[in-house]
Structure 1
Amino acid sequence: MPTSLRAESTPRSFDPATAELMAKTIKGLAIDAVQAANSGHPGMPMGCADLATVLWTEFHTHDPAQPQWFDRDRFVLSAGHGSMLLYALLHLTGYELPITELKNFRQWGSKTAGHPEYGHTPGVDVTTGPLGSGFAAGVGMALTERFLASHFNREGHTIIDHMTYGIVSDGDLMEGIASEAASLAGHLGLGKLIYLYDDNQISIDGATDITFTEDVAARFVAYGWHVQKVDGHDHAAVRKAIAAARAAGDQPSIICCRTVIAQGSPNKAGTSGAHGAPLGADEVAATKAAIGWPSEPTFHVPGQVSAALEQQQQVHTQSRADWDARLGAYRQAHPELGRALDQAIAGELPAAATEVFAKVLAGFEVGGSIASRKASQKVVSALYEAYPLFLGGSADLAGSNGTELPGPGQSKQHPESRKLHFGVREHGMAGVCNGMALHGGVRVFDATFLVFSDFMRGAVRLSALMGLPIVHVFTHDSFYLGEDGPTHQPIEHTMSLRLIPNLHVMRPGDARETVGAWQCAMQRTDGPTALLLTRQNLPTLAATNADAVARGAYVVSDPEGAGALDGIFMATGSELSLASACVDQLRAKGQRIRLVSMPCWERFEAQDAGYRESVLPAAVGRERRLAIEAGTTLGWSRWADHVHGIDHFGASAPAERLAEEFGFSVDGVLARWAAARS
């Protein structure tokens, strides 16, 4: 059986004259949409119209009638500022994106946003805009395709077999995340990944040679990529290059396509003036005259192009129907695998995966002591055993993060491996994981120290924006990591992550809560979760509740007997046990103090008002509440007037000495409480 039926297939035929006309159509649609919006980037779609036409009409396999068909080729417009290129392609090839949406480009409520958005526009496989992020996501897509093919395909049943294509820009290749992901892709030998590089040598500030004079082709050769150079406006040359890239074996491919930005514009072609601004009415008229395009009507689509693409839709429908037939035969030949594949495509956890949490939880006894990263490791190991599509890895810190998986790492020789060695590439790691989650069929995690979440913040933000169920494991979550000092001790990072919408930030207080946090993260399907875990051991408390973690905050204990509360102590993570010890002393002195664990603000805020009131009653106002967290105090004011935290950098010393110096002791907290009551 060939390595890839898709990669080794011959290009589809498409009439050359119609292809030329289609490229002009793309240019016309981009020109008109940007002009109507008085906002956008016309130059890139005009410069890439030729190469995109060849790719989409002759190679790209998809089905506009079923945009989520699982074995479709993935397409990444990493140069997301050229969004009108993608919107024009989607409209022309038959996606549910009518011409009215193109006319409403960048307007309120339209499906044609300024940069492509996953889940917002049918046919968009990834949100792009932050340059380099799409490049990294494509690497994750190609990695996932290969992994799933190795897991599900059987002799005579090639059921997972598709390409990942993309268009990348100078800006993408300047960003560090693309370099990280490119290096990893070359190392892994992701041969079904093909990028067309829009080498137009123009950026917003002018010609790229003011900042970017490296030999891009040589750089990618060094990464281990298959590299070609072509004229991006020569359809035959582009066709030949894509075919060669598809035959490149276990090398990812980049085709350096020399293009002219805003090609066809008499006065703005090849200039930065066409990068991020409309051409202007006079130049629109001059450009249309120069390329032989009617000035009216605007948004013109020739019938010849529509008819040819409508006819090609039958080919796409047949491709998907053929796969459906193969899938049916696969289910009959391998019923258990077929059920597992269906479940994977649907994004559902198998029963075995949902059962691991109770089993792991039973292993933690009250009075025991274990770091939450070590408790997390037990969950990771159990999920690995129970769930064959659970995979991930760390940025060269697997042993420290508690994320080490057995067996060899993912590689050319071991495409079936679920252990990913990302290397010291935090931003690339998170971007690749975004692509894996976007591809679907797997559940993925990544891991590093919390302080290094800064390096990957852009990709974490995108995972939240796209609603991707990724688990970000961040360990060594406070100054308690000790001797490594302030460069490695996170202070503002917990609060900084809480600022990202749709990111659930969970800081469990002991082993039980750690299991509950993992359960929440794995059951979540509409966004990512950040697990913040300790290096140091934490006592397993008698009253913590793994199930209650799902509500974000809960009452750990109340004083005995009836009577009004004198105050509330709330804490997260390693400070929960400290708060518990403080509360015990205060209760012994007659103060009626409630202890609240608050592992996840976002989940607590999502609860109904009645539940929130039951945990933090208005009768005990913020002036009688103390929050305790080994991080910056900014933000806690929504819950408490008094915060025992740390608003300065740490220091190099053993954790015990740091706790004493920074006031994270029973005496230090009680002194803060006494001051609050005075």
Structure 2
Amino acid sequence: MSIVQKSINALRILSADQIQKANSGHPGLPLGVAPTAYTIWSKMNFNPKNPNWINRDRFILSAGHGSALMYSLLHLFGFENMGIDELKNFRQLGSKTPGHPEYKHTAGVEISTGPLGAGMSNAVGMAMAEQHLGAIFNKDGYNLIDHYTYVLGGDGCMMEGITSEAMSLAGTLNLSKLIVFYDSNKISIEGDTDVAFTEDVQKKFEAFGFNNIVVEDGNDIDAIAAAIDKAKSQNQKPTLITVKTTIGYGAGKKAGTASVHGEPLGEEALKELRNNLNWDSNEPFAVSDDIYAHYRELAQKGAEKEQSWNKLFEEYSQKYPQDKQRWDEFFSDKYIKDLESNEDFWKYEDKKNATRASSGEVINKLKDIFPNLLGGSADLAPSNKTLMKDVEYFSSTCREGRNIHFGVRELAMGGIMNGIAAHSNLRVFGGTFFVFSDYIKPMMRLAALMGLPCIYVLTHDSIGVGEDGPTHEPIEQLAMLRAIPNFDVFRPCDYTETAAAYYSAMKSEDRPTAIALSRQNLRQISESSKEALKGAYVIKKEKGEKIDLILIATGSEVSLAIDTAEKLEQEGKSVRVVSMPCMDIFDRQDEAYRQSILPINVRARVGVEAGSRLCMSKYVGLDGEVLGMDTFGESAPADVLFEKFGFIVDNLLEISKKVIDRQKN
């Protein structure tokens, strides 16, 4: 048996052993895909000793349930902290080998995958990032950013809508350095894929604008290698390489069946696998020295590629000193420091304005401070105000463009943003109507899980949408997003708080931010301030030493709360108004600050927010009240709806008096 075949079989055996020891996992994909994975990795440029080399080829396992294969590759190629003991700890608490690959947790994992199809959209984002950075920095003979992006998915990934969304855009953009591998084993959890999936994937990808290559035998590594070479031989289109495999290859009667997808082989089938592969040891996790030597030899080629790149970079630095300085700034925290010292960022015109319009102004200030900022909208730029003025669109003919046409593809937009953010030091925002955050939410959750500082520009944030009606009026979305761990949600009341939201988002290194913005015009509140960066602050101080009532509000309801407080003051009440643009950040403040804003001894509290009551409830307590939304909205002019649902001074006044009286009694 050749050393190559032995090395492929090592991937199969190690994967199966991990799953058997954990008594949990998915052996089907690793057994079928091992030859494909081996061939891809043997051709990739990367250095296991420096997994963060910027010009490495990217590999994304979109079918993240095949993680045992990923960890076997990382171990055999010699990645840090991936010794054999980590494989033995597969799926165990605290290991580097969790059930699905996790970004920043395991060296060599480019992005967290598991939800099928997500990795496909991430790969499109990474391929876009590669093209963008190359357009900015590459010179004739000095291709500093010049790598391929490989993504591997299965039938499940191809069924998911996010894949079609993302690949449609990839074809439109002619991302020729994107190579998509389709593990076509014709098996799903419920049986043969024909029960629910009979489309011609190749024709679909052809319609997207892809090259199509089919490898009929998933064990034919020469054919797989030739397919990769063919994909690389052109620069017009992305490529789909369909590899026809047998799920659970080598596992006796289980091979080619649905049962091998997601459960350990069992001792008998594992023994049969070893026999069928002519594996010379029955000891779990035993790999011979010649196999390790072969993988280390492959890894050394990658290390040499990086050494050559380092030499090229030194020559580039000498020949193009200004570009070298720009490079250093681009991949540092310089732009953050520029933001901190930029007072113009906080200046605004004192006129009524929708916070979506204020957001547009802020974005256009940020675009001059942050040359590494990209962004766009799901075909709503005029409404979301996401256009960066005097900046080109990223396209097949303009890779340096920073505006992005995502098209009406909210879910893929979220996944593509994650890919762009995970690639290097690019910052990215994406916009849509707030109600359609429902479509992005799975990718927002993954961004939070990975600690990617993506920015979501979510306009039309309440019943203030008006005539478009309840399908377009967000109610529960604020509560939904605030429930995501490691995720900041801002709802600013005016320009200053909108600027604070973006300031916080741009300074974040490990947390995404959503900014909910009004469609309707709001007045600028002179008392609003940078204190918004603490999540909540006193925007209107009480008149007396004793506080009779605290009004807590967000966004468009802050001015309503202030107007109501002034009415109450005319009746001799001492009322504090707290603006709470970001509950998440406020909750992270120390207890002393939180007590200074919401004193524990003041139990008369009313929260007001044109959304679900759920979030405000914890701040007003059992003795307080919340003016919020318990139903869906309706279709009517915005001011009519605000009156119908009680977001007017008279109603808030009545609620406030009731709470004050209740405390007196």
TM-score by length of 2: 0.97
Change (3 A) 1:350 1:675: closer
User: Which residue in 1 is equivalent to 2:233?
Assistant: 247
DSSP-derived class of the 1:297 partner: coil
User: Which residue in 2 is equivalent to 1:362?
Assistant: 347
Among 539, 542, 546, which residue is 1:559 paired with?
Answer: 542
User: Which residue in 1 is equivalent to 2:104?
Assistant: 119
Among 604, 607, 614, which residue is 2:586 paired with?
Answer: 604
Provide the C-alpha distance between the structure 1 equivalents of 2:5 and 2:245, rounded to a whole number of angstroms: 16
User: Which residue in 2 is equivalent to 1:4?
Assistant: none
User: Which residue in 1 is equivalent to 2:245?
Assistant: 259
Deviations 1:327-346 (A, max 9, x none): 22222222232233233334
Q: Deviation of residue 287 (structure 1)?
A: 1.4
5 Å-filtered alignment, 1:31-110, equals: 31-57=16-42, 59-96=43-80, 97-110=82-95
DSSP-derived class of the 2:522 partner: strand
Provide the C-alpha distance between the structure 1 equivalents of 2:528 and 2:392, rounded to a whole number of angstroms: 37
* Pairing 1:332–2:318 present: yes
Q: Deviation of residue 408 (structure 1)?
A: 4.3
User: Which residue in 2 is equivalent to 1:397?
Assistant: 380
Letter in 2 for 1:361: W
User: Which residue in 2 is equivalent to 1:6?
Assistant: none
Q: Deviation of residue 363 (structure 1)?
A: 2.4
* Pairing 1:494–2:474 present: no
* Pairing 1:151–2:136 present: yes
User: Which residue in 1 is equivalent to 2:397?
Assistant: 413
Q: Deviation of residue 91 (structure 1)?
A: 0.4
| 2:59–2:150 CA contact under 8 A, matched in 1 | yes
Provide the C-alpha distance between the structure 1 equivalents of 2:516 and 2:341, rounded to a whole number of angstroms: 23
5 Å-filtered alignment, 1:419-458, equals: 419-458=403-442
Letter in 2 for 1:131: L
User: Which residue in 1 is equivalent to 2:487?
Assistant: 503
Deviations 1:283-337 (A, max 9, x none): 1111111111145221121211111122233222221112122222222222232
Among 510, 526, 532, which residue is 1:549 paired with?
Answer: 532
User: Which residue in 2 is equivalent to 1:625?
Assistant: 605
Change (3 A) 1:560 1:675: closer
Q: Deviation of residue 422 (structure 1)?
A: 0.6
Q: Deviation of residue 438 (structure 1)?
A: 0.5
User: Which residue in 2 is equivalent to 1:12?
Assistant: none
DSSP-derived class of the 1:400 partner: helix
Deviations 1:320-379 (A, max 9, x none): 1121222222222222322332333346525544455x31422233xx211101011011
Size of the alignment, in residue pairs?
A: 655
Provide the C-alpha distance between the structure 1 equivalents of 2:245 and 2:372, rounded to a whole number of angstroms: 41
5 Å-filtered alignment, 1:7-406, equals: 17-57=2-42, 59-96=43-80, 97-230=82-215, 231-346=217-332, 349=335, 351-356=337-342, 358-365=343-350, 368-406=351-389
| 1:347–1:440 CA contact under 8 A, matched in 2 | no
Letter in 1 for 2:352: S
DSSP-derived class of the 1:455 partner: helix
Q: Deviation of residue 279 (structure 1)?
A: 0.7
Deviations 1:521-551 (A, max 9, x none): 1111111000000011111111110x21211
| 1:168–1:197 CA contact under 8 A, matched in 2 | yes
Gaps of 5+ in 2: none
Deviations 1:46-99 (A, max 9, x none): 100011111111x11111101111111111000000001110000000102000
Deviations 1:565-604 (A, max 9, x none): 1111010000001001001111121111111010001101
Q: Deviation of residue 455 (structure 1)?
A: 0.5
Among 551, 557, 561, which residue is 1:575 paired with?
Answer: 557
Provide the C-alpha distance between the structure 2 equivalents of 1:675 and 1:487, rounded to a whole number of angstroms: 33
Q: Deviation of residue 668 (structure 1)?
A: 1.3
DSSP-derived class of the 1:76 partner: strand
Provide the C-alpha distance between the structure 2 equivalents of 1:519 and 1:334, rounded to a whole number of angstroms: 32
Deviations 1:166-205 (A, max 9, x none): 1111111111111100000000000000011100111111
User: Which residue in 1 is equivalent to 2:497?
Assistant: 513
Letter in 1 for 2:110: D
Letter in 2 for 1:146: Q
Q: Which moved more, 1:504-513 or 1:324-333?
A: 324-333
Q: Deviation of residue 511 (structure 1)?
A: 1.1
Provide the C-alpha distance between the structure 1 equivalents of 2:329 and 2:90, rounded to a whole number of angstroms: 37
DSSP-derived class of the 1:538 partner: coil
Deviations 1:144-187 (A, max 9, x none): 00001001112232111111011111111111111100000000
Among 565, 588, 595, which residue is 1:613 paired with?
Answer: 595
Q: Which moved more, 1:68-77 or 1:385-394?
A: 385-394
User: Which residue in 2 is equivalent to 1:3?
Assistant: none
Provide the C-alpha distance between the structure 1 equivalents of 2:340 and 2:361, rounded to a whole number of angstroms: 15
Deviations 1:233-256 (A, max 9, x none): 101100100000112312111100
* Pairing 1:644–2:624 present: no
Letter in 2 for 1:170: D
Q: Which moved more, 1:185-194 or 1:280-289?
A: 280-289
Provide the C-alpha distance between the structure 1 equivalents of 2:255 and 2:348, rounded to a whole number of angstroms: 67
Work out the percentage of aligned pairs sharing the same amino acid: 44
User: Which residue in 2 is equivalent to 1:675?
Assistant: 658
Q: Which moved more, 1:138-147 or 1:228-237?
A: 228-237
| 2:376–2:386 CA contact under 8 A, matched in 1 | yes
DSSP-derived class of the 1:349 partner: helix
DSSP-derived class of the 2:304 partner: helix
Change (3 A) 1:450 1:501: same
| 1:95–1:122 CA contact under 8 A, matched in 2 | yes
Provide the C-alpha distance between the structure 2 equivalents of 1:85 and 1:242, rounded to a whole number of angstroms: 20
DSSP-derived class of the 1:307 partner: helix
Provide the C-alpha distance between the structure 2 equivalents of 1:539 and 1:572, rounded to a whole number of angstroms: 14
Q: Which moved more, 1:243-252 or 1:471-480?
A: 243-252
Q: Which moved more, 1:630-639 or 1:169-178?
A: 630-639
Deviations 1:444-500 (A, max 9, x none): 100000000001110010001000011100000000010000000001111111011
TM-score by length of 1: 0.95
Provide the C-alpha distance between the structure 2 equivalents of 1:632 and 1:294, rounded to a whole number of angstroms: 63
Letter in 2 for 1:549: A
User: Which residue in 1 is equivalent to 2:520?
Assistant: 536
Letter in 2 for 1:251: K
Letter in 1 for 2:608: I
Provide the C-alpha distance between the structure 1 equivalents of 2:581 and 2:314, rounded to a whole number of angstroms: 45
* Pairing 1:476–2:460 present: yes
| 1:512–1:544 CA contact under 8 A, matched in 2 | yes
Letter in 1 for 2:73: L
How big is the alpha-carbon RMSD for the aligned residues of Structure 1 and Structure 2? 1.3
DSSP-derived class of the 1:565 partner: coil
